[in-house]
Amino acid sequence: MTKQLLFNLNIFDFTLRMKGFPIKEAQQRLREIQQISEAQYPDYLENARSEILQYHLQNNSFYKKFIGAKDVSAWENIPMLQKKDLQISLQERLSKNFSLKKIYTGKTSGSSGTPLQYAKDNFCHALTWAGIMDRFGWYGIDFNTSYQARFYGIPLEFKAYQKERMKDRFSNRYRFPIFDLSEKKLASFLEIFRKKKFDYLNGHTSSIVLFAKFLQKKKLILTEVCPTLKTCIVTSEMLFPDDKKLLESQLGIPVVNEYGASELDLLAFTNLEDDFQLNSDSVFIELVDEQGKAVPNGTPGTILVTMLYNKAHPFIRYEVGDLGIMDERSTFKKPILKQLIGRANDNATLANGTTVPGHTFYYVVKSAMRATSVVQEFIMEQNTLETFTFTYVAERDLNTAEINTLNESLYTYLGIAINLQCKRVALLDRSHRGKLKQFISHL
């Protein structure tokens, strides 16, 4: 193979095909799905979810046992599948005629507290990538040619580290490891942006937000340093409105929010109208109450996902662990997520018996600290019903007035006084994948 042919090769597509994932066939199927009219889309979804349900009832002994004698003639009667239901060996959960050697397997990060080994058949995995490539393509990003600035974690063990770096080179991306986000390190990131012609940023929300705060302090806009940048895609963590404004201001490019689950698929992506559009191509997403019944659009509900094309492993009415609100403008073909509230189990239980979602503390700190805050990043931890620890990164300790303001904001949002301990650190501890959980309960 000549050097010129290697240069012209679509490396990303080629790598998927070499691993046995039929990307061309998946892209063709995706085009067929997207050509289905709005009027015919309810029938497409109903038929697809019925077919995958019947397939697993006939070919998957684990799922057949899970359903048992339950009446599944009505979709809402199908029991919700949770991560705890899948805590047996992966081999025992595979459908008939599938083996671990001939499918795609992976493992979730365990950021929700329970890691999960999962599987997808090769066509399903290819369809996942076809969907991701399609959405990125909305913003002119081509996985075969566009150069990515990647803000992600990376294994620190030598062999695993070198393997990830090799994958980055073949995937046309440069990785910025995010375990050290000190000012010295962020300055070194900036110098790399001066030298390389990146097309887009992609990575964990909190780390890119911290980089944007660094740019703000330096009175710099990133496109002035790296004018080839077109867009920024953030993932894995909540994107709050104020942070999106900061990113767009300091990066100088549109900011796109991505929401997915590694064991499933891409679940939502900011479209060109700035709506958070749910995936309705390869999955069926519903928002339900505690009994598994659909909630009206505009009402908070638990997010359930059904994989329509995964024959190797059942994910039917699978509870992701997140809460959301569906927009009233949603249709079957174009469902829109009005708000992603966050993980259902990331809640604080207070001494007066009330429960508040963990993301409340983001707004508490924003309200107390304002735009001029010295706080760059923080984690709020609940130790007891009455005691919380506020761990933060800043150039100096918070003064008495700032701590008093923080306590006042906590009382406003929580409706009860708590015992707050403040602790300044040089760096926050991220998970091995680089995720930052802003609220942690130790109860």
Residue-wise pLDDT for 91-111, tens only, equals 999 999 999 989 999 988 655
Residue 134 lies inside a defined structural domain of this protein? no
List the structure tokens of 419: 């015992």
Same domain, 30 and 90: yes
Same domain, 65 and 94: yes
Burial class from Cβ neighbours inside 10 Å (0-12, 13-18, 19+) for residue 223 reads middle
Other residues' Cβ atoms within 10 Å of the Cβ of residue 85: 15
Domain count, the chain: 3
Same domain, 248 and 100: no
Q: What is the sign of the dihedral through the CA atoms of 64, 65, 69 and 74?
A: negative
Look up the CATH number of the domain holding residue 367. 3.30.300.30
- The last residue of one of the domains, among 253, 271, 299, is 253
Task: Reply yes or no on whether the pLDDT at 317 is more than 50.
Answer: yes
Q: Please state the rounded mean pLDDT for residues 114-138.
A: 94
Same domain, 248 and 265: no
Residue 135 lies inside a defined structural domain of this protein? no
Same domain, 20 and 72: yes
Same domain, 326 and 243: no
Same domain, 8 and 119: yes
Residue 403 lies inside a defined structural domain of this protein? yes
Predicted model pTM: 0.83
Residue 324 lies inside a defined structural domain of this protein? yes
Closest CA to 439 of 360, 385, 349: 360
Structural domain span for residue 146: 140-253
- The last residue of one of the domains, among 326, 343, 360, is 343
Mean pLDDT over the full length of the chain: 89
**Cross-strand pairs, 117:** 107
Q: CA dihedral defined by 68, 281, 310, 164, rounded to 10 degrees?
A: -130
Confidence of residue 18 (pLDDT cuts 50, 70, 90): confident
Look up the CATH number of the domain holding residue 236. 3.40.50
Same domain, 115 and 92: yes
What secondary structure does DSSP assign to 269-298, as a single string?
Answer: EE-TTS-EEEP-SSEEEEEE-TTSPBPPTT
Same domain, 125 and 265: yes
Residue 432 lies inside a defined structural domain of this protein? yes
DSSP 3-state assignment of 361? helix
Task: Reply yes or no on whether the pLDDT at 346 is more than 80.
Answer: no
Same domain, 91 and 237: no
Residue 423 lies inside a defined structural domain of this protein? yes
Same domain, 34 and 7: yes
Same domain, 146 and 245: yes
- The last residue of one of the domains, among 327, 343, 359, is 343
- Using an 8 Å Cβ cutoff, are 89 and 61 in contact? no
Residue 83 lies inside a defined structural domain of this protein? yes
Please write the tens of the pLDDT for every residue from 47-69: 999 999 999 999 999 999 999 99
Q: Please state the rounded mean pLDDT for residues 113-118.
A: 76
Residue 28 lies inside a defined structural domain of this protein? yes
Q: What is the pLDDT of residue 369?
A: 74
